[in-house]
Amino acid sequence: MDMPIYGRTSSDDLIRGAESMVSQTINRHFDANPGLAEIEVVVLGNRNGDVIPVLTTAVSRTQWQENSQVSAWTKYYSAYALIRRHDRQPTQVATVASRRSAYASSQVIAVQFERQFDLGQLTGRTIQAYTDLVD
């Protein structure tokens, strides 16, 4: 399911909106189709043509009846920063003389991903796969 993102949106607001959409979708499908045993809903954030995975919820009817909290059955993705990459000022990368912290290294990787994405060398899906490996 596609979730349009307009303007600056915090990650918390994005997640709350996505969870609300998922809850309504699951209820609607289980109510409309009594034979439906399970459902999987994927929410993709879309901002000006940039598409990122936000979350995936997979739940059976029995599980949903026992606990209808979307978060209990959901995998959340950490690609939110990609959708906001044009919100911030240009990033300057500084070189550290000796050791880098894990945070600094991840920032450098994020900048490289953004550049490759902007140049059309990587897709959002590819970046997500790499991000999952780095996290």
73 is a domain residue: yes
Tokens of 95: 């070189």
Model confidence at 95: pLDDT above 60: no
Same domain, yes or no: 10 and 76: yes
Q: How far apart are CA 58 and CA 52, in angstroms?
A: 18
74 is a domain residue: yes
pLDDT digits (tens, 9 = 90+) for 100-112: 444 445 565 666 6
Range of the domain at 112: 102-134
At residue 100, the pLDDT reads: 46
Across the chain, what does the average pLDDT equal?
Answer: 79
Q: Are 77 and 55 in contact (CB under 8 A)?
A: yes
Q: How many domains does the chain have?
A: 2
Q: Are 22 and 58 in contact (CB under 8 A)?
A: no
Q: Are 51 and 36 in contact (CB under 8 A)?
A: no
Same domain, yes or no: 51 and 109: no
97 is a domain residue: no
Same domain, yes or no: 106 and 75: no
pLDDT confidence tier of residue 115, bands split at 50, 70 and 90: low
Model confidence at 80: pLDDT above 70: no
Which pTM value belongs to this model?
0.61
